[in-house]
Amino acid sequence: MVPGAAVVRGWVAPAVRRVRREVQWRRAGDLRLSRGPLDGHEHAVAEHATPLVRDLAGLDPVLQRGKAVNLGLAAARLDGLLVRPGQTLSFWKHVGAPTRRRGFRDGLVLDHGRLSRGVGGGMCQATNLLYWMTLHTPLTVTERWRHSYDVFPDAGRTQPFGSGATCAWPVLDLQVRNGTTATFRLDLRVTATHLEGRWTADAPVPWTYELYEAHHVITHDAPGVFLRHNVVRRRVRDADGVEVGDELVAANQALLMYQPFLEAGR
């Protein structure tokens, strides 16, 4: 290999990926969404809320306040979007570049599993919420990036590990396609304490969805190196509560950034 080739490739590759993303956004007509009122889309399909502040050691409160501002700006760009049959919602296409000029502040950023700060930090909370909600609808997630690091222990966890979606402008996007015959409307807002989201539709959805963890194990791969693996699946039930499907959602793997407590069978 020519000396320095790896360095050049590492510099060029992100630029190429950015160009490819811009080309996708410009060429794909199904990504051009419009806003619409709640009237006509009153059928509740899925909703979720996550707290803005986490009481964990090492989290700078200034960065948490910045994250809340960033999430508010993102929510304002996404709230009220209609995803009609055949259309696709792209998170970053509608949020846009998280720059200081656009009002984004320093927030918490995970860089290879380490906590740091960066303009627009905290956006993963929005993609995590949107991904989780979407898994409780008949909408199809066509692009999702999983977290490669497990940063915090499971204290207070209410969802299966690996049921979130990371993001990074503009390459790591979250995209959701509507392959149904109904039109879906996204509600997203930031309150004083929570990020709140909801999917509604212009017609009733005759199914309900349950996410569950089918397999979980922590492996000790090297001295001080632990990997966490699991499989997330989804049960589908009809209007009578009869199970009509059991689907694979994701197989996850992440490097633990804390010392695990290895229980029997984990």
pLDDT in tens, 207-225: 999 999 998 999 998 988 9
Give the DSSP per-residue string, 147-200: -SEE-S--TT--S-TT---B-BTTTB--EEE--SSS-EEEEEEE-SSEEEEEEE
- From the list 120, 28, 37, the residue with the least C-alpha distance to 80 is 37
The 10s digit of each residue's pLDDT in 226-260 is: 999 999 999 999 999 999 999 999 999 999 877 77
**Phi first, then psi: what are they for 46, rounded to 5°?**
-155, 145
**What pLDDT is stored for residue 162 in this prediction?**
85
Average pLDDT, the chain: 88
**What pLDDT is stored for residue 108 in this prediction?**
82
Confidence of residue 18 (pLDDT cuts 50, 70, 90): confident
Question: What is d(CA 260, CA 193) in angstroms, rounded to the nearest whole number?
Answer: 30
Confidence of residue 4 (pLDDT cuts 50, 70, 90): low
**What pLDDT is stored for residue 263 in this prediction?**
46
- Residue 237's contacts (CB-CB under 8 Å, 6 or more residues apart) are 207, 208, 209, 210, 243, 244
**What pLDDT is stored for residue 17 in this prediction?**
84
Question: Does the structure show a pLDDT above 80 at 158?
Answer: no
Confidence of residue 3 (pLDDT cuts 50, 70, 90): low
Q: Are strands 88-90 and 194-201 parallel, antiparallel or unpaired?
A: unpaired
**What pLDDT is stored for residue 211 in this prediction?**
96
3-7, 18-22, 39-43, 124-128: least confident range: 3-7
Confidence of residue 101 (pLDDT cuts 50, 70, 90): very high
**What pLDDT is stored for residue 53 in this prediction?**
86
- Residue 22's contacts (CB-CB under 8 Å, 6 or more residues apart) are 170
38-47, 75-84, 115-124, 144-153: least confident range: 144-153
What is the torsion angle, in degrees rounded to the nearest 10, for the CA atoms of residue 16, residue 19, residue 20 and residue 25?
160
- From the list 173, 199, 161, 159, the residue with the least C-alpha distance to 50 is 159
Q: Are strands 184-190 and 194-201 parallel, antiparallel or unpaired?
A: antiparallel
Question: Does the structure show a pLDDT above 60 at 110?
Answer: yes
Question: What is d(CA 178, CA 190) in angstroms, rounded to the nearest whole number?
Answer: 25
Question: Does the structure show a pLDDT above 50 at 10?
Answer: no
